[in-house]
Copies of this chain bind each other. A is one copy, B any other.
């Protein structure tokens, strides 16, 4: 993962998911696992995927055992809901992780690119259709990111907003790249078969 290869004394070795969750809690809001999932879905998910619910709860239990978060049942409510909050030790650990861990190269798994790479075995029209669908998805994501960024700006989340803006630009760039890919594929067909 994006952790330090050699373990650093200041923070435990944890999967990036754990740090992401801690990060969500670092804005000093008590949140349930369910809330965390929703938040993750329209913020972190834009540049770092979103874990399954089951793993969120598992990871929260681990973080609590380590003393990096605390939880308490929702007061005045006899539901099963639990609210999680970051502890001072949690903030220390997260800060140390930010200061000393290696981000590593970004991981990209681009299913469409893989298929286009094997284009000699695919029907050209099918391939073009896939690229077009992908481009439209990227456009939607760019818009989604833009609205999320707007909400962040209003809330005064400064760093998050900068990154979500970055995400929005990322997805617009992706859409443009898809269009260029489409053009290249079309040119390829006009010349002849491979």
Partner-B contacts on A (CB < 8 A): 2, 16, 19-20, 23, 26, 43-44, 47-49, 91, 94-95, 98-99, 101, 103-123, 126, 130, 134, 137, 158-160, 162-163, 165-167, 169-170, 173-174, 177, 180-181, 184-185, 188, 194
Besides A106-B134, A108-B108, A118-B159, 13 more A-B contacts (Cβ < 8 Å) are: A19-B114, A43-B117, A48-B111, A99-B126, A106-B108, A106-B111, A113-B163, A113-B167, A120-B158, A162-B184, A165-B184, A166-B177, A173-B177
Q: Are B47 and A108 in contact (CB under 8 A)?
A: yes
Name A's interface SS: helix
A106, closest chain B residue (CB): B110
Residues of B within 8 A of A174 (CB): 106
Q: Determine whether the beta carbon of B103 is less than 8 Å from that of A166.
A: no
A113 nearest CB neighbor, chain B only: B47
Q: Are A98 and B122 in contact (CB under 8 A)?
A: yes
Give Cα distance in the complex from A37 to B159, angstroms. Answer: 39
Docked CA distance A121–B93 (Å) = 11
Give the residue of B94, B99, B159 whose beta carbon is less than 8 angstroms from that of A123.
Answer: B99
What residues on B are CB-neighbors of A94 within 8 Å?
118, 121
In the complex, are the beta carbons of B106 and A112 less than 8 A apart? yes
Are the CB atoms of B122 and A99 closer together than 8 Å? Answer: yes
